[in-house]
């Protein structure tokens, strides 16, 4: 790292700031002369005499800015022993202020000499007598620059800490999402294998068909390239595949209806967000109704929000919160994933009106990629009950 890179901000910004400040001070001096020229009978404004003063001052401080920043890093004022660090900075401040004043004054008088506006008899005693108060002024400017550097450096450190914190939170969120996804997949596999086990004694052909469909479904759900966020049409394909497996076990007792507007096919949703809800509906729908299991899957748009519903005609529950906390991992998994992905912008609610059936509602921000394209089949937008017949 070279000298000019040792700055709390880009050095070109330091130079631009110095030039702007010098120009403002020069314009201020000109305006003062313009306003009071007649009142005080002032001589015409001499640009060669006035312009070098602010530019030499601010550009020299710009040159010293990396040095002052290094002094701040070496002897910071927020680290003990504070008194010792202040004393060291005071000594350096006097030294830097003296060098600054001597160098800039020498350059300034040299410029006056070159334009023929310098007489030693006039300026010599004036330069010597004005040196102490000028050094004091430069010393005050040194501490002003140091204060600005401390503030800028503190803001930079705070910004870096916030960026690092966001990075850590993002990595933690990704790890939690991956853990939830890995938790969900074995859970789904276990329940499906239970279906196969239940069919082995009564319907061997049905069990084979379930295994065949399970293989196809696992290829989609366990694919390493499977994204965490997918179009709603893709999620509905996964739900339909899963219900196709369950239809082998329930024969014509499983009736599912879909209400998915075609305009929402490309809406982005978390992958496998509906499958646990449908699985839960089948699980509880068979407890109380052995003749017919009815499931409704619906999506709608409310302003900039996508709302998804899954409803069943099962036994229901009088204490939904207790069932949620002590039930399976599927519903909790969905709730936690929504919280991680969308925070307060998403909501998850479950109810059982009059203790009959379950009604699950998800709401999340409606996001559609500009280049989104629906892949695969589209679920028809109909409220008609469709029986999933055994192939």
- The reported pLDDT for the residue numbered 169 is 66
| Other Cβ atoms closer than 10 A to 239 | 23
Domain with residues 229-387, CATH architecture = 2-Layer Sandwich (3.30)
Residue 260 · residue 232 · CB < 8 Å: yes
Q: What mean pLDDT comes out for the span 137-159?
A: 92
- The reported pLDDT for the residue numbered 328 is 58
Confidence of residue 369 (pLDDT cuts 50, 70, 90): low
User: What confidence tens digit (pLDDT) does each residue in 57-70 have?
Assistant: 999 999 999 999 99
Tokens describing residue 285:
């729908």
Q: Residue holding tokens 């076990």?
A: 249
Quick check: 384 pLDDT over 50? no
> Each residue of 17-46: b (16+ CB within 10 Å) or e?
bbeebbeebbeeeeeebeeeeeeeeeeeee
Answer yes or no: pTM beyond 0.85: no
Highest mean pLDDT among 49-53, 93-97, 334-338, 347-351: 93-97
Q: Distance (Å, rounded) from C-alpha 281 to C-alpha 287? A: 10
Contacts 24+ apart (CB under 8 A), 42-48: 46/117, 48/111, 48/112, 48/115, 48/117
- The reported pLDDT for the residue numbered 187 is 59
User: What confidence tens digit (pLDDT) does each residue in 70-90 have?
Assistant: 999 899 888 778 899 999 999
Would you kindly state where each structural domain of the chain is located, as residue ranges? Answer: 3-167, 229-387
Looking at every residue in the chain, the average pLDDT score rounds to 80
To the nearest 10 degrees (0 to 180), the angle between helices 120-200 and 232-250 is 20
Confidence of residue 186 (pLDDT cuts 50, 70, 90): low
- The reported pLDDT for the residue numbered 193 is 77
Q: What mean pLDDT comes out for the span 199-226?
A: 72
**Cis link prior to 42 (omega < 30° from 0)?**
no
Residue 188 · residue 214 · CB < 8 Å: no
- The reported pLDDT for the residue numbered 372 is 47
Confidence of residue 207 (pLDDT cuts 50, 70, 90): confident
- The reported pLDDT for the residue numbered 298 is 93
CA distances from 168 to 4, 42, 127, 178, 270 (A): 32, 65, 59, 15, 22
The residue ranking higher by pLDDT, 247 or 264, is 264
Residue 153 · residue 72 · CB < 8 Å: yes
- The reported pLDDT for the residue numbered 181 is 54
Residue 259 · residue 386 · CB < 8 Å: no
Quick check: 386 pLDDT over 80? no
């Amino acid at each position: 790292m070279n000298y000019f890179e040792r700055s709390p901000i880009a050095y070109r910004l330091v130079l631009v700031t110095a030039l702007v400040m010098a120009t403002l001070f020069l314009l201020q001096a000109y305006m003062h002369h313009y306003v009071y020229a007649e009142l005080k009978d002032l001589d015409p404004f001499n640009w060669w005499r006035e312009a070098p003063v602010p530019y030499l001052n601010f550009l020299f401080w710009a040159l010293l800015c990396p040095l002052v920043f290094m002094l701040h890093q070496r002897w910071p004022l927020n680290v003990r022993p504070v008194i010792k660090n202040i004393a060291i900075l005071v000594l350096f401040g006097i030294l830097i202020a003296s060098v600054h004043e001597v160098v800039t004054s020498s350059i300034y008088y040299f410029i006056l000499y070159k334009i023929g506006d310098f007489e030693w008899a006039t300026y010599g005693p004036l330069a010597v007598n004005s040196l102490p108060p000028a050094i004091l002024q430069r010393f005050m400017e040194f501490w002003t620059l140091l204060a600005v550097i401390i503030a800028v450096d503190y803001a930079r450190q705070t910004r870096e800490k916030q960026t690092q914190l966001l990075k850590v939170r993002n990595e933690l969120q990704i790890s939690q999402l991956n853990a939830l996804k890995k938790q969900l997949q074995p859970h789904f596999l276990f329940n499906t294998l239970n279906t196969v086990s239940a069919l082995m004694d009564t319907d061997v052909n049905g069990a084979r068909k379930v295994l065949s469909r399970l293989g196809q479904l696992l290829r989609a759900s366990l694919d390493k390239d499977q994204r965490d966020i997918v179009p709603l049409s893709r999620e509905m394909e996964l739900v339909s595949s899963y219900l196709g497996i369950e239809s082998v076990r329930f024969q014509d007792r499983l009736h599912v209806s879909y209400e998915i507007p075609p305009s929402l096919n490309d809406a982005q949703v978390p992958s496998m967000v509906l499958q646990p809800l449908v699985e839960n509906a089948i699980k509880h729908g068979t407890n109380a109704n052995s003749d017919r299991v009815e499931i409704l899957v619906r999506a709608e748009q409310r302003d900039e929000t996508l709302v998804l519903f899954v409803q069943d005609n099962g036994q229901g529950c009088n204490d939904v919160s207790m069932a949620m906390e002590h039930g399976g991992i599927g519903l909790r998994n969905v709730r936690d994933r929504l919280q991680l992905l969308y925070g307060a912008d998403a909501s998850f609610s479950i109810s059982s009106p009059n203790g009959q059936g379950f009604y699950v509602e998800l709401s999340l921000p409606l996001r559609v990629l500009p280049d989104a394209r629906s892949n695969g089949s589209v679920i028809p937008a109909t409220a008609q009950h469709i029986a999933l017949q055994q192939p």
